[in-house]
Amino acid sequence: MNALNPEIAATESLLAFWRDAGVDACFEDAPVDRTFTPAPPEQKATLKAVASVTVAPDLGGAVSEARRLAAEAGDLDALKDAIAGFTGCPLRDMGASQSVFARGDPGAPVLVIGEGPGADEDAQGAPFVGRAGKLLDKMLDAAGLLDRVFITNTVFWRPPGNRTPTPQEQMICAPFVERAFALMQPKAVLLLGAAAAKSVLKTDEGIMKMRGQWREWRLSEGGLAAPVLPTLHPAFLLRQPMAKRMAWADMLELAAKLDASD
């Protein structure tokens, strides 16, 4: 019987390790749009001419409009409507079927912020309703927090291919996130994953350094502030089950701080 090629055996062993660790997908260093079809040669000149006169997105104008609409929202229902009618975020025109704002108790003491909607969220119009959301709900329930949270994201339209939202996309949506914070005035904020933590806290620190450490989120206007706890994103926990114990410790820390403030 022929012996198995050592390189093949090593590859199979590595793949088995990744599978057992919960890895269910492979990613490249940069996002790739698999739906993109190159234009035929005869169209390239036309496309180039169009691109030369295309105006770049007005980031400042989009942020200003988002800030105006957010400020006019007197409650969270009005904020949801303002987001649905906002056209300044480029994600809106990248395949998303609808805006996805929030779910949970508007009067909850905890505001939970993730990075952005995925396919399930885009279909159902609510954040964290897929596999990652089910895991999040299980952890919140076990910690006695499920009925004490209001859950949203840093962006409100699904990024193509479920990629991480860009800092520019988050910046455009930030006035709506800040308005939700101002309207709720929560006792604590839970940030899920690196993208949410970096956006809200305006930092480049890694999530492994930030998680489990209380920070402060203070709005530039109004002086509103609240303690913030970054933790691991539930989608990461599905890929790395061994990290659940760290996220669970963060949940218990949040519950203890909330109980101490009552």
166-207 pLDDT tens trace: 999 999 999 999 999 999 999 999 999 999 999 999 999 999
**In this structure, are residues 182 and 108 in contact, taking their beta carbons and an 8 Å threshold?**
no
Q: What pLDDT is recorded for position 223?
A: 83
| Rounded CA separation 221/72 (Å) | 15
Q: Given the structure tokens 């929202």, which residue do they identify?
A: 73
Query: In this predicted structure, what is the pLDDT of residue 13?
Result: 66
Pick the CATH number of 59-261 from 3.40.50.970, 3.10.20.30, 3.40.50.720, 3.40.470.10: 3.40.470.10
pLDDT of residue 1: 47
Nearest Cα neighbor of 215 from 205, 223, 5 is: 205
Q: Which residues of the chain have pLDDT under 50?
A: 1, 44, 46-56
Distance of CA 4 to the CA centre of its chain: 44
Residue 220's pLDDT is what? 85
Average pLDDT, the chain: 87
